[in-house]
Copies of this chain bind each other. A is one copy, B any other.
Amino acid sequence: MTDTNKPITIKTIAKELNISFSTVSKALNNNPAIKEETRKMVLDKANEMGYTPNSLAKGLRSNSTKTIAIIFNDIENPVLTYIFRTISIKMADHGYTTMIFDSQFSEKIERANILTVLSRQPDFIILEPTSMNPNNLQLLSEMSNRLILQGVRYETMNCHHVHVDYAHGGYLAACAMLSNGHRDCLVITEPLSFPTSEQFVLGIERAYSEYNVPFNRDMVKTTHSSITNGFQTMQKLWDYDTNAFSIPFTGVLTFDDTLAYGVYKAAMQYNFKIPEDISVIGFDDNPLSAFSMPPLTTIHLPKEKMAENYISILQSALLEGRTETRFFSSDPILIPRDSVCNLFRRNRRN
């Protein structure tokens, strides 16, 4: 009866019903100008034929794609997946689709991602910038009131912010080391061009200066997040002749828990003990970090609160049409577990 293989559009339905396609469109959109009887007929037919509206045409015409685009730097980070999942589920209730992109800490990929995203005309963009370099950000200047920045504070850009105080996180982590008598700490983090990584180190330095302990920037090693990379960072420092690390340190501060497990792996390989020989503090609070051997002391990211902040911005802008931009900030907290050794107590015992 109907054409096979051709996609079902409002025109197909109209032809089938011998009415005009504009009537079909109105019926489908619950336009009150349409007779109840006609609407029902159209709806039934649409159902029967398996009609799916074409979002592209809709978006092209109506200038709203009901899409939220997220650009993060490491989709495998469980905190980010949690946030993505929460936004995605919550906004789906209101007909929004969320798409996510991974810039892998690369400005070049970030640029490509922004261009892809822009070409898809999303209603809102969430971006975790790879750097403070405004080049890529400028691409988004036109839609600054439909933009949420994560992790950075961009005063010059009039857009929404969901900020987490990574400096405070680094500060807390360093304090936990220093208050336990650790002075020489290795720091394993993302390249410092990544804004939150820089904040992290800045926070560490603040703690050191408060404790009147000099901090040596050479102790900061940069790499990308993975167990392997964390391990390799340690490996490079290992001296196979002396069977010890080539530089002295008693603690390691990492930018996330994954890197911390790279240190754990090194401990297995090189037979040093955590925390007896080396103390470790992570960042993020991976749900599994409570079960590791030893349980990992880490900085907890308030992911629930962050997700709430996002939802709040998205709902007030998208659903209520409010236009003012908002700034949210939240603090990470220290979760003390068993990967930090108290050097004072240990030394007393010896």
Residues in chain A within 8 A of chain B (CB atoms):
5, 50, 52-60, 65, 75-76, 78, 81-82, 84-85, 88-89, 92, 97, 99-102, 104, 112, 115-116, 118-121, 139, 142, 227, 257-258, 261, 264-265, 286-295
Q: Which residues of B contact A294 (CB under 8 A)?
A: 293
Q: Determine whether the beta carbon of A88 is less than 8 Å from that of B116.
A: no
Q: Determine whether the beta carbon of B76 is less than 8 Å from that of A81.
A: yes
Give the 7 A-B CB pairs with smallest separation, nearest first: A293-B293, A99-B99, A55-B119, A56-B60, A288-B288, A52-B118, A291-B292
Give Cα A142–Cα B2 distance, bound, in whole angstroms: 15
Q: Which residues of B contact A81 (CB under 8 A)?
A: 75-76, 81
Give Cα A58–Cα B57 distance, bound, in whole angstroms: 10
Q: Which residues of B contact A257 (CB under 8 A)?
A: 288
Among A76, A291, A292, A294, the one with the most B-chain Cβ atoms within 10 Å of its Cβ is A291
A125 to chain B, nearest CB (A): 13
A276 to chain B, nearest CB (A): 15
Q: Determine whether the beta carbon of A88 is less than 8 Å from that of B102.
A: yes
A-B contact pairs, 19 of them (CB 8 A): A53-B119, A56-B56, A75-B81, A75-B85, A76-B82, A78-B78, A88-B101, A89-B102, A92-B112, A92-B116, A97-B116, A257-B288, A264-B291, A265-B290, A265-B291, A291-B292, A292-B292, A293-B293, A293-B295
A4 to chain B, nearest CB (A): 10
Q: Which residues of B contact A292 (CB under 8 A)?
A: 288, 291-293
Give Cα A55–Cα B69 distance, bound, in whole angstroms: 14
Q: Determine whether the beta carbon of B85 is less than 8 Å from that of A97.
A: no
Q: Which residues of B contact A258 (CB under 8 A)?
A: 287
Q: For A56, give its contact among B88, B120, B142 (CB under 8 Å).
A: B120
Q: Which residues of B contact A57 (CB under 8 A)?
A: 56, 60
Q: Determine whether the beta carbon of B120 is less than 8 Å from that of A102.
A: no
Give Cα A88–Cα B100 distance, bound, in whole angstroms: 10
Q: Which residues of B contact A227 (CB under 8 A)?
A: 287
Q: Determine whether the beta carbon of B85 is less than 8 Å from that of A55.
A: no
Q: For A76, give its contact among B78, B92, B118, B265 (CB under 8 Å).
A: B78
Q: Which residues of B contact A97 (CB under 8 A)?
A: 99, 101, 116, 120
Q: Which residues of B contact A84 (CB under 8 A)?
A: 75
Q: Which residues of B contact A287 (CB under 8 A)?
A: 227, 258, 261
Nearest-neighbor residue (CB-CB) of A286 within chain B: B288
Q: Which residues of B contact A89 (CB under 8 A)?
A: 102, 104
Q: Which residues of B contact A60 (CB under 8 A)?
A: 54, 56-57, 60
A7 to chain B, nearest CB (A): 8
Give Cα A2–Cα B294 distance, bound, in whole angstroms: 63
Give Cα A53–Cα B76 distance, bound, in whole angstroms: 30
Q: Which residues of B contact A119 (CB under 8 A)?
A: 52-55, 58
Nearest-neighbor residue (CB-CB) of A112 within chain B: B92
